[in-house]
């Protein structure tokens, strides 16, 4: 299960960004995940809940996952098509000279922090 390693990397990255920006708590992390990335969403969520609970900054934080659709480019005719629907064979010309151009990514898109009350007291 490589999802746990992925979660540890996400947490380490978010904690570092949080420290650099003076963040004490994180409410949610949005992850963009390619639909052919090989990551199992349910496993990722389970690992997240377990690992985030052990981080002072991320305890209780939600992991939001947005799917990036897989797209393939045919080098023979230039067609861009849905990878899951057609695989490696171009539906327009039947060529196998294709390559994945989108859908294998994994990116931290957003880190949400709780709203902090503004200190309006004058000194």
Return binding residues: 2, 74, 77, 90, 93
Number of neighbours of residue 63 by Cβ within 10 angstroms: 20
Please give the radius of gyration of the chain, using alpha carbons only, rounded to the nearest integer. 20
Residues comprising the binding site for Ni(2+)? Answer: 2
Instruction: Provide the H-helix boundaries in 21-121.
Output: 41-52, 83-86
Report how far apart the first and last C-alpha atoms of the chain are (Å, whole number).
Answer: 54
Do residues 113 and 23 make contact, with C-beta atoms less than 8 angstroms apart? Answer: yes
Residues comprising the binding site for Zn(2+)? Answer: 74, 77, 90, 93
């Amino acid at each position: 299960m490589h999802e746990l390693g992925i979660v540890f990397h996400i947490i380490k990255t978010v904690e570092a960004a949080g420290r650099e920006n003076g963040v004490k708590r994180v409410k949610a992390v949005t992850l963009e995940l390619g639909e052919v990335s090989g990551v199992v969403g349910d496993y990722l969520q389970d690992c997240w809940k377990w690992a985030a609970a052990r981080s002072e900054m991320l305890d209780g934080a939600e992991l939001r996952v947005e799917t990036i659709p897989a797209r393939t480019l045919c080098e023979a005719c230039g067609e861009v098509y849905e990878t899951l629907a057609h695989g490696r064979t171009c539906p327009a010309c039947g060529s196998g000279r294709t390559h994945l151009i989108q859908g294998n990514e994994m990116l931290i898109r957003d880190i949400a922090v709780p709203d902090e009350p503004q200190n309006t007291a004058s000194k």
